[in-house]
Chains A and B, each alone.
Chain A
Amino acid sequence: MIADGHDGPLLQLSGIWRSYERGTETVVALSGVDLWVNPGEAVALIGRSGSGKSTLLHIAGGLDLADRGTVRVTGRDPAAMSVSQRAELRRHAVGFVFQFFHLLPQLTVVENVELPLLLNGGRKSRSRARDVLASVGLAEKADRYPTELSGGEMQRVALARALVGGAPLILADEPTGNLDSVTGGEVLDLLIAQVAERDAALLLVTHDAQAAGRADRVLTLVDGKIASASR
Chain B
Amino acid sequence: MRDWLRLTRLLGLRWIRIHPLRSLLAVLAVAGGVSLAMSVVLTTSSVTWSFAHFSEKVAFGAQLRVIGATARGGLDGRVAGEVAATPGVSVAVPTVEAITPVISPSRRVTVVALGIGGRTWGVSPQVAGLRDAFLMTDAGPLPLGGAPVEPALAGVAGGDVVVMPLAMSQSLFARSGRLDAVYVVPAKGADLSSLTRRLQKAVGPWNAVVPAGSLPPEASVVTQSFLPLLGLLAVLAVGVSVVLVHDIVDLAFSERRRSMAVVAALGGSPLAVALPATEVVILGLAGGVIGVGGAALVARTIVGTIDALVHQLAGVPLSIHLSVPVALAAPMGGVLVSLVAAAGPLRRARAIDVAAELSGRDAISVASDRLRVGRAAIYSALMAIGLAGCWMSSLHGSLAPWQYPVGIASFGLTVVAAMLAVGNLAPLALHLARGVATAGHAGAAVRLALSNLVRSPRRTGTMAVAVAGAVGVAFIAASYSRSATEGIVGATKVPQARWVYVSKGSTASVTIDTEDRFSPAELAALAHVPGVSRVVRQVGVLTGHSASSVIGVETSDDLHVAGLPLVEGSASRALLLRGEALVGTALARRQHLRPGSKVILDTPGGLARIPVAGIWEVGDFNGSSVFISEQEMTRLYGSQPPTNVYAYARPGVPLGELARRIVSAGIAVDVHAATPSQTQAAWVRSVAGQIAPFWALQRALTLLAFVAVLSTFVLAGVQRRKEYGALSAVGFSPRDLSKMVITEGALVGASGTLLGGLLGVVGSVGLIAIVPLVVGYRNPFVLAPAYWAGYGAVAVAVTLAASLLPAWRAAHIPVLDALREE
Give A contacts to B, CB under 8 Å. 22-23, 54-55, 58, 61, 63-65, 83-84, 87-92, 94, 96, 98, 100-107, 111, 115-116, 118-119, 121-122, 125, 146-147, 154, 161
**Size range of the chain B interface in the assembly:** 35 or more
Bound Cα distance from A94 to B366, whole angstroms: 31
Nearest residue (CB) in A for B1 is: A121
Contact A63 to B7, CB < 8 A, known contacts A89-B267, A101-B822, A115-B266: no
Apart from A55-B355, A104-B262: 16 A-B pairs, beta carbons within 8 A:
A63-B352, A63-B354, A63-B358, A83-B270, A83-B350, A83-B351, A84-B269, A88-B269, A90-B266, A90-B267, A91-B266, A98-B265, A100-B358, A102-B822, A107-B10, A118-B7
Chain B positions within 8 Å of A115 at CB level: 10, 263, 266
Kindly state the separation between the CA atoms of A118 and B258 in the bound complex, as whole angstroms: 18
Contact (Cβ within 8 A) B355 A84: no
Q: Which residue of A lies closest to B821 (CB)?
A: A147
Q: Cβ of B272 < 8 Å from any Cβ of A? A: yes
Q: Of A96, A106, A122, which is within 8 A of B265 by CB?
A: A96
State the B residues within 8 Å of A (CB): 3, 6-7, 10-11, 14-15, 18, 258-259, 261-270, 272-273, 350-352, 354-355, 358-359, 366-367, 817, 820-822
With contact pairs A22-B366, A101-B822, A106-B14 given, residues A64 and B267 touching in the complex (Cβ less than 8 Å): no
Contacts A/B (CB < 8 Å), 14 sampled: A63-B355, A84-B269, A84-B270, A87-B267, A87-B269, A89-B267, A94-B267, A98-B265, A101-B822, A102-B261, A106-B259, A118-B3, A121-B3, A147-B820
Question: In the complex the two chains form, what is the Cα distance from A161 to B820 in whole Å?
Answer: 20
A119 nearest in chain B by CB position: B268
Bound CA span A178–B822, Å = 14
Q: Which residue among B15, B270, B817, B820 has the maximum number of chain A CB atoms within 10 Å of its CB?
A: B820
Determine if A118 and B822 form an interchain contact, defined as CB atoms under 8 angstroms apart.
no
Q: Give the residues in chain A near B359, CB-CB below 8 Å.
A: 54, 100
Given contacts A104-B259, A111-B10, contact A116 B266 (CB under 8 A): yes
B817-A147 in contact (CB<8A):
yes
| Chain B residues whose CB sits within 8 angstroms of the CB of A146 once the complex forms | 822
Q: How far is the CB of B223 from chain A (nearest CB, A)?
A: 51
Residue of A nearest to B13 (CB): A106
Nearest 4 CB-CB pairs, A to B?
A: A91-B267, A90-B267, A58-B355, A64-B355
A-B contact count (CB 8 A): 93
Compute how far the CA of A91 lies from the CA of B270 in the bound complex, rounded to whole angstroms.
12
List chain B residues, Cβ under 8 A from A161: 266
B18 touches A116 (CB 8 A): no
Which chain A residues lie closer than 8 Å to B266 at the CB level? 90-91, 96, 115-116, 119, 161
Query: Residue of A at shortest CB range from B262?
Result: A102
Which interface residue of B14, B18, B264, B352 has the most chain A CB atoms within 10 A?
Answer: B352
Q: Which residues of A contact B351 (CB under 8 A)?
A: 83
The residues of B that contact A118 with a CB separation of less than 8 Å are 3, 6-7, 10
- Among residues of B, the one whose C-beta sits closest to the C-beta of A78 is B352
Give, as a whole number of angstroms, the nearest-CB distance from A83 to chain B.
5
The answer to whether B822 and A88 have CB atoms under 8 Å apart is no
Kindly report which residue of chain A lies nearest to residue B268, judged by CB atoms: A119
CA A54 to CA B359, docked complex, whole Å: 10
Residue from B265, B272, B359 whose CB has the most chain A CB atoms within 10 Å:
B265
Q: Which of A121, A125, A146, A161 has the most CB of B within 10 A?
A: A121
Given A65-B352, A83-B351, A119-B272, answer yes or no on A107-B267 (Cβ-Cβ < 8 Å). Answer: no
- Contact assessment for B267 and A92 in the assembled complex, using a CB-CB cutoff below 8 Å: yes
Kindly state the separation between the CA atoms of A92 and B269 in the bound complex, as whole angstroms.
Answer: 12
Contact A23 B367 (CB under 8 A): yes
The smallest beta-carbon distance between B363 and chain A, in angstroms, is: 9
| Chain B residues with CB below 8 A from A61, complex form | 265
- Distance in Å: Cβ of A177 to nearest Cβ of chain B: 15
- CB closest chain-B residue, reference A103: B822
Residues from chain B with Cβ under 8 Å of A88 in the complex? 267, 269
Most B CB atoms within 10 A — which of A88, A102, A103, A116?
A102
What distance in Å separates the Cβ of B6 from its nearest Cβ neighbour in chain A?
6
